[in-house]
Amino acid sequence: MITMVYSYTLLLADGQYLSLLSDDTVFGVLSEHPGAQLVSRNEYGYRAVVAD
């Protein structure tokens, strides 16, 4: 299976910015960082997910 990977930029509650790569949804990323605001989400690339 192939999934899209996104580059997220978040503004944290303390005023700092956080950039991360994730294949999770916006809701999923924000739920991992309480109080953060979404600044941007851009397509970064693809990831192959292999399961046995």
- The tens digit of pLDDT for each residue in 11-50 reads 999 999 999 999 999 999 999 999 999 999 999 999 998 8
On whether residue 23 sits in a domain, the answer given is yes
Query: How many C-beta atoms lie closer than 10 Å to residue 37's C-beta?
Result: 11
Q: What domain range includes position 29?
A: 2-47
4 pLDDT tier (thresholds 50, 70, 90): very high
51 pLDDT tier (thresholds 50, 70, 90): confident
The pTM of the full predicted model, rounded to 2 decimals, is 0.85
Q: Is the pLDDT of residue 9 over 90?
A: yes
User: Which phi and psi angles does 30 have, rounded to 5°?
Assistant: -65, -30
On whether residue 14 sits in a domain, the answer given is yes
Note the pLDDT of residue 16: 97
On whether residue 20 sits in a domain, the answer given is yes
With contact defined as beta carbons under 8 Å apart, do 2 and 45 qualify? no
Q: Per-residue b/e over 11-22, b at no fewer than 16 CB within 10 Å?
A: eeeeeeeeeeee
On whether residue 52 sits in a domain, the answer given is no
On whether residue 18 sits in a domain, the answer given is yes
- What is the domain count for the chain? 1
